[in-house]
A and B are shown apart, each in its own frame.
Chain A
Amino acid sequence: MSQKPYSLAGKRHEKLEARQKATGRLKYTGDIRLPDMLHCRILRSPHANAIVKSVDTTEAMKVPGVVDIITYDDVPKILSMHQFLHVPEVMYYDSYLLERHVRHVGDRVAAVAAESIEAAEEALRKVVVDYEVLPAAVTMEQALAGEAPRIHEEARRGTDLVEIEGNVFEKVDVSIGDVERGFAEADYVIERSYNTSKPNPAPMERACVVCAPRSDGRLDVWATAQGIHAMRMNIAHSLGVPVSHLNCHRMFLGGSFGAHIHTGFIENICAFLAFRTGRPVRGEKTREEMFLAYGRHPMKVTVKAGFKKDGTMTALHSDTTDDTGSYAFSGSSKMMLTSGFTLSMYKCPNLRMTGRSIYTNTPPLSAMRGAGNPQASWAVESLMDEAAEALGIDPIALRLRNNLGVGDTFYGQGPKVISTIRSCGTPELLEKGSRLIGWEKRGNGYAPYPDRPWIRRGIGMARGFHTSGCGSEKPNRFIMDFSGAFIKMNEDGTAQLMNAAADCGGGNISTYATLIAETIGLRYSDVIVNGGDTDTTPFDGVTHASRGLYGAGQPVVACAEDIRQQLLEWASRAFRCGPEDLEIHQGRVYRHFKPEDSMTVSEVVLLGQARGWGNIMAHSTVRPTACPPHFVVIFLEVEVDTRTGRVDVTRAISGVDTGTIINRNNVEGQAAGGLHMGLGFGLMEDTLFDAATGRPLNANFADYKMLTTLDMPPVEIVFADTFEPTGPLGSKAIGEGVTNPVAPAVANAIYNACGVRIRDLPCTPERVFREIKKARI
């Protein structure tokens, strides 16, 4: 390995803000209270598809404490986009702040600003709305039917009007190589369809925003956002004001998982109300509103793959139908990503992806941990096990035979983001994981308990990956992926970072401190990371695509290297030697050959100040030129109660190829949390809507099920010994890869346990039970 011996990287570091979080002193967005602050509540449609014929606010305005009520008539007539990360040309502009045509139960009809939440809610009850209720298309099948209602009259992609045919707003058909020839060369061709569900990211902290007019006429915005600069762009655009009129503050997030990758309307609406009323306006979504605003796109993915007898893949064609809900928050990107990721799962010369994105009368969906990859992994990793059985090849051997490794081309965010793989720990992790779980000894339908023969134990695995950011060797016209940073040295020897990358809870802000301390030669405690806002930090891509460390960390390391050189240069003046004769360690500058001669970094900075040498400071902006996949291998042991269909996960191994580990605590936290989310996707998490009315059926935590701690198996984490040459200190990402292959590992383990193949998520007890019953007949 080319890995350098690091003094801080790889160890455990307490998050900088950990104690503030644990003691409740850290202020989240929801904690902000300002004098004269108003509360915003939104009147939401009870219908899945309707025209708002009139809104009468007369009685509502009479409610004591009500200051302002706005409807479609009041908002700027600017079609707006929502997601933060893509270049504007590929983004969809298909909504206003409030609508006249409401397109899902919970869509925005009017907004109230009042002195209290109670007054705002009382006003909502008194607004009289006359709806013309239209037939709704709640399911994919309904939206694609010939007589389906038209969900959108107008939408723009970039500056172009979109042709929407039968609710399909974008299609793709991309080929690499020649799939027809590939299938002709195959000895065995398999084609299967797999369906995914609609889990909610369900962060603990609900979406919240506070907008406060400033004395200079601009607006301060505190919000739960995965990217303050992109949020500023979107709010400014939808309000028709210059971006510099807004100053958006970086806040710690209580989880996100994609929920805050876009403006979810309350940000823009509260900003608009704050400008209108001249007073601070706060909005916070209820849990039900959280369920009516976010989620992973459900998809139908049909995969056809051709193999030689020895397991070599000759062709792969994936066809994806993607339900984005009522607004294309992420454009067609999720469909492009799912399709694109299927192409990068294995090494195959002949690839084709076809797909379509459609509108339905359900809440708009966006990213959720994995951005299209969990859907692709569900299909391809289930199919690999089905193919392995048909070919008579061990599932791990089949994966290794077609492994995509060092030197291979990788399509990171769909076919437009191309980079070359430079590190790959998959074979190592497959070896370690299979040994740990006892893969060789796994049975078929093994019944471990003589007194309960209906319990069947199975072992299953899946491998996967996610990108580390969205960098490509050549700049792409699909997604914005660059970051910036400033660092300055303080007189007491501390380094202070000013950047904008959001920390969703994964700990990337603390990781920057480790990168800086390691690179300059300081102690971890010598680094301060500013809260930061859009006024004082350079643009940064959003914290998404697992890029918090890999992408936003690159300019941080570049600045730190620059700072180190400046410190050495100043110290060399003091010691009257060359900078190459010096080293910095734990905040102190030493001479190589005369270590008794040393001075603290603080003394170096103070010396420069006294002599008038100026500031030690650095700035950097970096566009990553790769998006190295961080590979993950999941092994699960399950026990299936074949009489009830209940699946109990009894062991879990998460094998992670994250390159250099910067902070072991954070990496382990991501692996365990990612497994939890993946198991939820695999076993139970799904938001349900009545197919006739579009009303939510489980928009609360009593009926929307997530695994509790009692349902979680112990998580065993193994690491690959890899070094990513393009990454900060050799690191890659971790956040999403650890979730992506979990669900197919569940299904593969269920198959091993009881011989039934579940192709529709989630693997609920009733679904598993039904399949078992079917198999018995």
Chain B
Amino acid sequence: MKPFDYYEPTSIGEACSLLGELGPAASLLAGGTDLVVRMKRGVSEPVGVINLKTIPGSNEIALEGGNVRIGALTRLADLAVSPLIRAKLPALALGADSVGTPQIRNLATLGGNLCNASPCADTAPALLVSEASLQISGRQGTRQESIASFFLAPGKTTLSAGEIVTAIIVPVPSLLTVQTFIKLGPRKSGDISVVNTAVSLSFDGGRCARARIALGSVAPTPLRARETEAWIEGQEASSIDAAEAGRRAAEEVRPISDLRGSQEYRKEMVSVLTERALSSLLQKL
């Protein structure tokens, strides 16, 4: 590992200034489960490392009006067991609980999982189906951005120089909403997703008023199956054909072939996972 300067800011403002001054040669440290490994391997060689964990209050989960506000430094392990998250945003709890191993989840943070911008991030689909937005601080002040437009490419987001994600704001779904998250890997735990999916369905008078399907590991960024969503919306719960929805979702993805799975297999699995997620939700009604 190359030598680097290490900073412990005590406020977001201070962290943003530091990041602005140091420029792209600086890295933000949250859980460190990706950054430290990359530094040890020599893949990342930052000249400055800014530890965000010394900023108070950045790991809180709270209900604020109609939103759940999750501090960006909330650990995945805490997210997975939070009664509030489990009750209001079950897909997010399931996604957080499926990242890596307990050792990883005890360090890794929600902000880190998102800002890495990995196409297979297991927390992203749940936030996409809940239409979350990110609270971002920079030297020019703060802004909010929808998670739907946040990811640009593997490892790339819309964050500009000196910007830090401070919180994730998730609207609490309507009362008649069901949601879930499932992932596929060769093992029961500890795997990077071959395909993952979150589905959220909201009903109004027996009809599906709002359908959201998000898929990971099947395109350069986590994405929504918008055409399939539109096809489901307006249908009676009892008439939704989950298998057909799965087939449609498979047409909306653009996976690559890699070590974890071929393009063809991933497309097929999008179909299976979407169908299974939908079926399990429809059975709950």
Q: Which residues of A contact B (CB under 8 A)?
A: 118, 643-644, 646, 683-684, 688, 697-698, 702-703, 705, 707-708, 710-711, 764-766, 769-770
Contact = CB atoms under 8 A, between A and B. Distances in A.
B261 interface: yes
B284 interface: no
Contacts, number: 39
Interface string B167-202: 000000000000000001011111110100000000
Nearest to A765: B186
Contact of B272 (A643, A697, A702, A766): A643
Interface in B186-243: 186-192, 194
Contacts of A646: 184, 186
A710 B265 contact: no
Contacts of A697: 259
Contact of B187 (A644, A703, A705, A770): A705
23 contacts: A643-B272, A644-B184, A644-B272, A646-B184, A683-B186, A684-B186, A684-B187, A688-B259, A702-B192, A705-B187, A705-B191, A708-B187, A708-B188, A708-B189, A710-B188, A710-B189, A711-B187, A765-B184, A765-B194, A766-B261, A769-B265, A769-B268, A770-B265
B262 interface: yes
A546 to B, nearest CB: 29
A698 B262 contact: no
B12 interface: no
Summarize A's interface: helix, strand, loop or mixed. Answer: loop
A324 B262 CA distance: 28
B26 interface: no
A698 B259 contact: yes
A579 to B, nearest CB: 61
A-B pairs with lowest CB-CB distance, top 6 = A710-B188, A766-B265, A643-B272, A710-B189, A711-B187, A684-B186
B68 interface: no
Given A684-B186, A705-B186, A710-B187, 15 more contacts: A118-B1, A644-B272, A646-B184, A683-B186, A688-B259, A697-B259, A702-B192, A703-B259, A703-B260, A705-B191, A708-B189, A711-B187, A765-B194, A766-B262, A770-B265
Contacts of B191: 705
Nearest to A683: B186
Contacts of B187: 684, 705, 707-708, 710-711
B98 to A, nearest CB: 12
A540 B149 CA distance: 67
A766 B257 CA distance: 12
B279 to A, nearest CB: 9
A698 B186 CA distance: 15
Contacts of B265: 766, 769-770
A702 B190 CA distance: 8
A523 B259 CA distance: 55
A703 B194 CA distance: 12
A698 B191 CA distance: 13
Nearest to B192: A702
B192 A644 contact: no
Contacts of B272: 643-644
A105 to B, nearest CB: 16
B250 interface: no
B59 to A, nearest CB: 26
Contacts of A698: 259
B95 to A, nearest CB: 18
Contacts of A769: 265, 268
Contacts of B192: 702
A410 B175 CA distance: 72
Given A697-B259, A705-B191, A764 B268 contact: no
Given A703-B259, A766-B261, A711 B268 contact: no
Nearest to A706: B187
A710 B259 CA distance: 23
B12 to A, nearest CB: 32
Contact of B188 (A643, A703, A711, A764): A711
Contacts of B189: 708, 710
B79 interface: no
Contacts of B85: none
Contacts of A688: 259
A546 B65 CA distance: 67
B269 interface: yes
A769 B189 CA distance: 20
Contact of A644 (B1, B190, B262, B269): B269
A764 B191 CA distance: 14
Nearest to A773: B268
Contacts of B184: 644, 646, 765
Interface string B247-280: 0000000000001111001001100100000000
A706 to B, nearest CB: 9
Interface string B1-21: 100000000000000000000
A765 B266 CA distance: 11
A524 B260 CA distance: 50
Residue picked from B188, B261, B262, most chain A C-beta under 10 Å? B188
Contacts of B262: 766
B16 to A, nearest CB: 32
A697 B190 CA distance: 18
Nearest to A712: B188
Contacts of A770: 265
A727 B132 CA distance: 69
A323 B191 CA distance: 30
Nearest to B273: A644
Nearest to B261: A766
Nearest to A452: B276
Given A644-B184, A688-B259, A697-B259, A708 B269 contact: no
Contacts of A643: 272
A102 B269 CA distance: 42
Contacts of A766: 261-262, 265
Given A698-B259, A766-B265, A769-B268, A708 B190 contact: yes
A742 B265 CA distance: 27
Contacts of A118: 1
A29 B272 CA distance: 49
Contacts of B186: 646, 683-684, 705, 764-765
Contacts of A707: 187
Scoring A646, A698, A766 by chain B CB atoms within 10 A of each residue's CB, the highest score goes to: A766
Contacts of B268: 769
A770 B269 CA distance: 12
B4 to A, nearest CB: 14
Most buried by A among B187, B191, B192, B262: B187
A770 B261 CA distance: 12
A702 B38 CA distance: 13
B262 to A, nearest CB: 7
A118 B269 CA distance: 45
B187 to A, nearest CB: 5
A647 to B, nearest CB: 9
Nearest to A684: B186
Contacts of B259: 688, 697-698, 703
Interface string B116-127: 000000000000
A427 to B, nearest CB: 36
B80 to A, nearest CB: 16
A708 B100 CA distance: 12
Contacts of B260: 703
A295 to B, nearest CB: 17
B259 to A, nearest CB: 5
Contacts of A710: 187-189
Interface in B80-118: none
A413 to B, nearest CB: 34
A147 to B, nearest CB: 28
Contacts of A705: 186-187, 191
Contacts of B1: 118
Contacts of A644: 184, 269, 272
A643 B188 CA distance: 16
A498 B269 CA distance: 59
